[in-house]
Amino acid sequence: MKHTFYKYQGTGNDFVIIDNRQNIFDKNNTKLIAHLCDRRFGIGADGLILLENHEEVNFKMIYFNADGNESSMCGNGGRCITAFANFLGIINNSATFEAIDGYHNAIIEEDVIKLQMQDVKGIHNTNQYVLLDTGSPHHVKLSKGIESLDVKQEGAKIRYGKLYNQDGVNVNFVEKIDTETFTVRTYERGVENETLSCGTGVTAAAIAMHYIGETEKNCITLNTKGGNLKVSFEKQGDSYVNIWLIGPAIQVYKGDIEW
């Protein structure tokens, strides 16, 4: 039986999105999800997102990594599903939706989607890296010359290293351009490779750079291979609140596939 899907991307972080308000999709079928995300034998994506009904807010977001397993929060995915909900006519220029880490607010300004992230606290800082959770756990390392870095190899060493349990971690290599601009390259667990952009990753990078004193700005531009994102925030004691991930979210195409 043929089913309709949509392909979206947010600064190169791409997703298969399915309208699952009629419960047509088997969320326990990890092989199917991995197949749909496969770039050679399926549609191809960094992850798959289901949009579902919600009794209290506009919709519910369920996110799966490309390996077929349900994952922690995906920032760019949250921005893309907001654009998709607008396309479907579920929302107009703003939304509140539930993801795995709780409720999120979003604002649409043409092709730019602003997504409010969860507050961040419990930041762990060492001389070599910063560890924090922005909806997903992130290891942030300030580096130089990251353009020539083998992110897949170096990221995997940390993701599977002794510091972390079997769940692993996402790994971000950050290079300072100036006090309000940083370049970020991210190794994503579940994808097990570098992605062109990672929303929770650039959020983690921005907050980490502020936390360790590399910037005093509260709105930071993050350059990724897939384009530029902005992160704004407020510091409140040792925590960060009112965090917004800002950038484009684009529908690439619509198609039908059998499963």
- Residues serving a catalytic function are 74, 198
* CA–CA gap between residue 178 and residue 24 (Å, rounded): 48
Measured CA distances, 157 to 12, 90, 97, 139 (Å): 24, 43, 35, 12
Extract the tokens encoding 25: 């999709």
What lies within 8 Å, CB to CB, of 239 at 6+ separation is 119, 120, 121
HEC string for 177-216: EECCEEEEEEEECCCCEEECCCHHHHHHHHHHHHHCCCCC
* CA–CA gap between residue 200 and residue 79 (Å, rounded): 11
Extract the tokens encoding 244: 């917004």
